[in-house]
Amino acid sequence: MSTPPVPTDRSPETLRLDAALQLLQQSGLALPDVADGRTAWLQAVVDGLCNLSSRDPLTGLANRRQFELALAREIDRVARAGEPALVLMIDIDHFKQVNDTHGHAAGDLVLKEVARALHDCIRPMDTVARFGGEEFAMILPNCPPAFGLTVAERIRLKVQGRSVGVAPGVDVAVTVSLGGAFAPQWVRSSAPLWIERADQQLYRAKAEGRNRACLEQPPVSFVSAEEKGLLFSVSQFQDDSE
Amino acid sequence: MSASIIAVTSGKGGVGKTFVSANLACALAQRGERVLVLDADLGLANLDVVLNLFPKITLHDVFTGKSDLEQAILPAPGNFSVLLAGSGLVEYSRLTPEVRDKLLEVIQAVTPRFDRIILDTGAGISDVVLYTISLADEVLIVATPEPTSLTDAYATIKVLATQQRRRRMRLVVNQTNLPNEARVIRGQLQQVVDRYVTPAMADPGQPLKLELLGGVPSDPAVREAVQKRQLLLEMLPGCAASKAIGGVADKLRA
């Protein structure tokens, strides 16, 4: 691969961009014309590198680094705002079999197709990342516990509905198992703890037969509907005597 | 003599718990008490923000043995002392035996030297919050008239009554908009407590009593003080909210 042209009046003189430019070229990013301004050009180089370092090259999803940044931000947010947020860990079922039977190129096609299916399921504020190997992770801010299982099931069915053509006439049916955990309300969790709780549910989904979603049970509310009813009933304008 | 320990808690976050803790400390100090506020919101400390302090030494340093407890007790504006959690305490947001022991150790060490210790706890009913409250002689619940705040306050009351067998809890209603609102809210909470909590307690013969220490009216001065990172009682001692907090202090001391 030939190295793309570098502006000649480099400053500082020691700036070496050859490796960076090669990476950007490989990723297909078009840089603005150097003649339009060196600062803009350099900014585009930096932005391009940031983008590259936050994405998984195979699937184009956020990579683990980007996921951890997003998770830290979400932990900050829920700790103060107390809003519900869900983390899902998603693992492709029997992925090793695909690799062993059809080869690693087929495995890559499966990873890409699952990534596409996951990407099609999310809202703009959600994060979906390739966590590692055949495991994916999702952060769903502002997801009420009552909707959690519905969301996870929708993702499961979306993947189940797609088969991957790994060779002419050879289609592989793919399913995923999902495990999810909600952020503890008002408590600052830590990233490893939150992921661990979702992971435990993923193990449960695997153990219960795969192609299913298991969510950690949200803590039981301490206040029943009757109690709430009484708390907000009638005597709004009555004074009380202590 | 050792200090009387009061835990300030809220159920829901963002209802002004730390604001009440800091200004109540100031009011008590004005009444001659030696007061220490301990930022026990280990995961999400913000007492330093409210008081505009930039602590170099925090509870974290005491916990890890980097500093003496003495050095971590800082003077705050308002003539009281503070022991700040600092953001390094994120890893203590779970109640491990270590956190439990260290917190207890710190509190035991400071009680002989003060008249009053205010434990500014985290929101919610996590195990750290419940444990911190268990170390206190008294509980002060801060709520606003907003429905979710009231529901969460009630949940806290219920848990404390059943798990810690508390028979008395103090209540401050923050951000009231009507003159009688705090009293009405206390009545509403007491009504549900009488019906659902007391009968479920181990000894229903001793009913749980909610005692209103006062209502703090919504006051534009409060926002101004918070934004300027000043104690309301120092910035505008004559405003309605300041007077209300003075009333809370008087009632607490009565």
Please answer yes or no on whether A190 and B187 come within 8 Å at the CB atom. no
Whether the CB-CB separation of B154 and B114 falls below 8 Å is answered with: no
Instruction: Mark residue B79 as left, alpha or beta (left: phi above 0; alpha: psi -120 to 50; beta: remaining).
Output: left
Q: What share of chain B is helix, strand, coil (3-state, %, to 5)?
A: 50, 20, 35
Instruction: Please enumerate in sequence order all residues whose Cβ is within 8 A of that of B166, keeping only pairs 6 or more positions apart, or say none.
Output: B139, B160, B208
Q: In the prediction, which pLDDT does B148 show?
A: 86
Handedness of CA B242, B248, B253, B254 (dihedral sign): positive
Q: Which residues of chain B have pLDDT under 50?
A: none
* Distance in angstroms (rounded) separating the CA atoms of residues A13 and A21: 17
Name the strand (E) or helix (H) holding B73: strand B73-76
What token pair was written down for B7? 């835990």
Residue pLDDT, tens place only, A47-101: 999 999 999 999 999 999 999 999 988 987 887 676 789 999 999 999 999 999 9
Residue pLDDT, tens place only, A184-237: 665 566 788 889 999 999 999 999 999 999 999 866 667 888 888 888 885 544
Please answer yes or no on whether B184 and A222 come within 8 Å at the CB atom. no
- A89 forms bridges with which residues in the sheet? A137, A179
Phi, psi (deg, nearest 5) at residue B171: -130, 135
Q: Is A134 in the active site? A: yes
Least CB–CB distance from B155: residue in A82, A184, A223: A223
Least CB–CB distance from B151: residue in A226, A228, A237: A228
- B5 forms bridges with which residues in the sheet? B117
| Average per-residue pLDDT for chain B | 89
Q: In the prediction, which pLDDT does A66 show?
A: 96
Residue pLDDT, tens place only, A113-153: 999 999 999 999 999 999 999 999 999 998 988 899 999 99
Whether the CB-CB separation of B112 and B31 falls below 8 Å is answered with: no
* Distance in angstroms (rounded) separating the CA atoms of residues A196 and A137: 12
Whether the CB-CB separation of B77 and B231 falls below 8 Å is answered with: yes
Q: In the prediction, which pLDDT does A242 show?
A: 45
Q: In the prediction, which pLDDT does A8 show?
A: 60
Residues of B in contact with A76 (CB under 8 A): none
Q: In the prediction, which pLDDT does B13 show?
A: 78
Q: In the prediction, which pLDDT does A22 show?
A: 92
Residues of B in contact with A226 (CB under 8 A): 196
Q: In the prediction, which pLDDT does B3 show?
A: 93
Whether the CB-CB separation of B83 and B41 falls below 8 Å is answered with: no
Count Cβ atoms within 10 A of the Cβ of residue B92 and give its class: 0-12 exposed, 13-18 middle, 19 or more buried: buried
* pLDDT over 80 at A9, yes or no: no
Q: What ipTM does the predicted assembly reach?
A: 0.79
**Residue of B173, B188, B212 to mutate when probing chain A, most A C-beta within 10 A:** B188
Average pLDDT estimate for A15-34: 89
pTM: 0.67
Number of alpha carbons in the 13 Å side-chain half-sphere of residue B123? 26
